[in-house]
Amino acid sequence: MSTETQTQSTTGIGQITTNQWAVGAVGGFVGSVIFGLMMQYIMPPPMLEVVLPAMYGIEGPALMTGWAVHQFHGVVLGLAYVALVQLNPFKRAARTLPGALGLGVGYGVVTTLVLAVLVMPLWLSVVGFAGAPPFPNIAIPGTILSLVGHIVFAVPLAIAYAVVSD
C-alpha cells in the first residue's frame, strides 16, 4: 500500500502558496511582454525607450533598458495582485474564471489611474525629466491606450492566478 503526502508551502502573508507567488511573478512578466509590445508598436513613442528609463535617471533612447524596467514593473505588479486578492472582498472571485476576468479588468483600470495618471507624472517631475506629462496625466489617446494596455496586462495575470489557485 502506497501513501502520498501533499505539502503546501506558504509564506508569512496569509496562506499564499509558493505556486501563487510564482504565478504572480510569471503572469506579471508575460502580461508585461504583451503590454510592452503594444507600447513599442502601437502607443506613441517614446514611452518604452525614453520615458521608462527616465524614471530611473537613465537618458534615452535606451530600448533594452525600457524593456527591463517595464518587465520589472510587471513582475512587481503581478506579485501585488497576488497579495491584493487575498483580501476578503476579492478572495473568492479571484479563484473563478468569471471573477478573475472582472478582477483583471478592474486591476487594469486601477493600475492605470494610480500609476499612469497619478504616479508617473509626479515621479518624472521629481527626477527632472523635461518631457514629464502634466499632473494628472490625462491625455487622449494616450490614457486610453494606457488603459487598454494595463487591462491586456492584468487579465492574463488574473486568469493564470485563478487556474493555479482553483
Model pLDDT for residues 72-101, shown as the tens digit of each residue? 999 999 999 999 999 999 999 999 999 999
Give mean pLDDT, residues 104-109: 98
Tell me which amino acid residue 112 is. T
* pLDDT one-digit tens code per residue, 40-54: 999 877 889 999 999
> What one-character-per-residue DSSP string does the chain give?
---------B-SSTT-BHHHHHHHHHHHHHHHHHHHHHHHHTSPTTIIIIIHHHTTT--S--HHHHHHHHHHHHHHHHHHHHHHTTSHHHHTGGGSHHHHHHHHHHHHHHHIIIIIIIIHHHHHHHTT-TTPPPSS---TTHHHHHHHHHHHHHHHHHHHHHHHH-
Q: What is the mean pLDDT of the chain?
A: 91
Place 15 in a pLDDT band, splitting at 50, 70 and 90.
Answer: confident
CA atoms within 13 A on the CB side of 46: 16
Q: Identify the residue whose cell numbers are 505588479.
A: 77
pLDDT at 165: 86
Domain coordinates in residue numbering, the chain: 18-165
> Measured between alpha carbons, how far is 62 from 46 in angstroms, rounded to an integer?
10
Answer whether residue 25 shows pLDDT above 70.
Answer: yes
